[in-house]
Amino acid sequence: MWLIYKKEILEMLRDKRTLIFSILLPTLIFPVIFFFIGKFTMDKTKEAQEKEINIAFVNTVAMPGLEDLFTKEKGFHKKSLESDDFESAILDKKVDYILEVPEGNGLPALVRKQQQINLYYKGSSRLNNILTSRVNKVMEAFNNAQRRQLGDAYNLSNDNVKAFNKPVEVERKNFASKREKTGEMVGPMTAYILILLAVAGAMYPALEIGVGEKERGTLETLLLTPMRKSHIVLAKFAVIFTTSFLSVAVTLLSYLFWTYIFTMGGKALNLDFLSNISSFDILLVGVLLIPLTSIFASIMLCASIYAKNMKEAQAYMSPIMMMGFLPVIVAFVPGMELNWKTAMIPVTNVALAMKDLIKGTVDYGLIGVLLISTLAIAGGMLYFATQFFKKEKVLFRS
């Protein structure tokens, strides 16, 4: 047994692919990738922590010192409101937060009982969470000051004690819809699953009709027919694309079906937000996957045709899959949003757009930009695949 074990290990160590995938990837490449993703995440978090927050104050004269705490804090910018429509002001992004002291409320240290402050904002992303935590930090500073003043007082009643412990009860009114909040969690998951399906759906047919044909000897037979090489590769691409897209399309159709079933259960199942996702949005998710699936189909076809045998082809598939997932991970780093820049990054842009479609916050103009950029890349990849397939060195690589 030991003899066989030693011989197998020796052979594996002499296989460059084993060395790359078993040793080089986990010891060097993965840490480098994780380092860059970690650094990227930290940079984005820092960016969110330093982002200027536009805050408006309503009736804060009733609580002297509260407004000063915010305006003295770095990164807060005082804005005045043009109307009493708080919701529009926030949704139109005129301000990020509105702090309102309701009529009849004053400083807890003077009134000696708990007071209320209303905080209006829109929070449905991790970026919002970071911003809100900064607002909470200032509010906590205000509460601490009030506690100190209350501690000096004598004859504390129950209300006084309550006020001492928690001088201000902040009642949060988040204008983000349930769909937005749930979509923030469901969106990334949906993007992961659909992109995984698109990649996995392309892999098997790519192996089968690329290197599989090479191994069985049918590729050479095919090349001896009057069919043009570009037509052969386009047909093969179409097969991989169809299979890959079909798995995604079936998932989306099944989603529509189950949405209908679940929404019949409605509030009882707490899934009524699903009914807000329109068929058009689901259709757009499908449309987004067309160029993405094309990119994966072209890359996998090239890798499969290039490989000498099935083992080599499978070795190429793992990094391709990883290269497919890394941009998805990057897409869900806090602070990453679909904008003109990110709409140009392949895979990341589709993942971000899917999240926004599920949340119902998508900018349809950006979807157009995204589609144009991804289709351009998909077209480029397909052209590369047709040229690659014409190379004798690739077809008869041995």
Partner 1 sequence: MIELKNLAKTFAYDKKEAKARQKKVIKDPREGEGVFHAVKNVSFSVEPGKVLGLLGPNGAGKTTTLRMLSTALQPTAGQILINGKDITKDPLYATKQIGFLSGKTGLYHRLTVQENVEYFGRMHGLSKDELAKRVEQIFSMLDMHSFAGKRADDLSTGMSQRASIARAVIHNPKVLVFDEPTTGLDVISAKTVLDFIESYRGTDMSVIFSTHHLHEVEQLCDHVCLIDLGESKFNGTTQEFAELSDKGDLYSAFLNVVNLKEVA
User: Residues interacting with partner 1, by CB under 8 A?
Assistant: 216-218, 220-227, 392-393, 395-396
Q: Which C-beta is closer to partner 1: that of 46 or that of 391?
A: 391
As a residue count, the chain comes to 398
Cβ–Cβ contacts within 10 Å for residue 232, how many? Answer: 19
Q: How far is the CB of 44 from partner 1 (least distance, A)?
A: 40
Residue 234 · residue 384 · CB < 8 Å: no
> Containing H/E element for 386?
helix 364-389
CB of residue 16 to partner 1, shortest distance in Å:
11
Decide whether 289 or 315 has the Cβ nearer to partner 1.
315
Q: Using CA atoms, how far apart are residues 292 and 374, in angstroms rounded to an integer?
A: 7
In the DSSP assignment, the letter for residue 99 is E
Nearer to partner 1, 342 or 386 (CB): 386
Helices (H) and strands (E) in the chain, counts: 17, 5
Closer residue to partner 1, CB minimum distance, 307 or 333: 307
Q: Which is closer to partner 1, CB of 80 or CB of 398?
A: 398
Q: Could you please report the per-residue DSSP string of 156-223?
A: --HHHHHHHH-SEEEEEEE-S-HHHHHHHHHHHHHHHHHHHHHHHHHHHHHHHHTHHHHHHTHHHHHH
Q: Show the 3-state SS of 285-301.
A: HHHHHHHHHHHHHHHHH
Q: Pick the closer one to partner 1 by CB: 6 or 16.
A: 16
> For partner 1, which is the closer residue by CB, 172 or 228?
228
Structure tokens at 241: 């694309």
With respect to partner 1, which residue has the nearer C-beta, 90 or 305? 305
* Strand-pair category, 97-100 with 76-79: unpaired
The angle subtended at Cα 337 by Cα 334 and Cα 339, nearest 5°, is: 155
Smaller CB separation from partner 1, 208 or 281 = 208
Least Å from the CB of residue 387 to partner 1:
15
CB of 250: closest distance to partner 1 in angstroms? 22
Cβ closest to partner 1, residue 305 vs residue 370: 305
Buried-state track 215-224, b at ≥16 Cβ within 10 A, e below 16: eeeebeeeee
Sequence-ordered list of residues with C-beta below 8 angstroms from that of 45, at least 6 positions apart, any chain: 130, 334, 335
Please give the Cα distance from 51 to 236 (Å, whole number): 49
Shortest distance, position 220 Cβ to partner 1, whole Å: 6
Please give the single-letter amino acid code of residue 6.
Answer: K
DSSP state of 156: -
Of 51 and 229, which CB lies nearer to partner 1 in the complex structure?
A: 229
DSSP E strand boundaries for the chain: 53-58, 76-79, 97-100, 115-121, 168-174
CB of 215 to partner 1, least distance (A): 9
Closest approach of partner 1 to the CB of residue 266, in Å: 47
To the nearest whole angstrom, how small is the minimum distance from the Cβ of residue 234 to partner 1?
15
CB of 222 to partner 1, least distance (A): 8
Residue given tokens 């157009």 in the structure block: 368
Q: Report the nearest approach of partner 1 to the CB of residue 318 (Å).
A: 22
Q: How would DSSP label each residue in 267-336? A: GGGT-GGGGGS-HHHHHHHHHHHHHHHHHHHHHHHHHHHH-SSHHHHHHHHHHHHHHHHHHHHHHTSTT-
The least CB distance from residue 320 to partner 1, in Å, is: 21
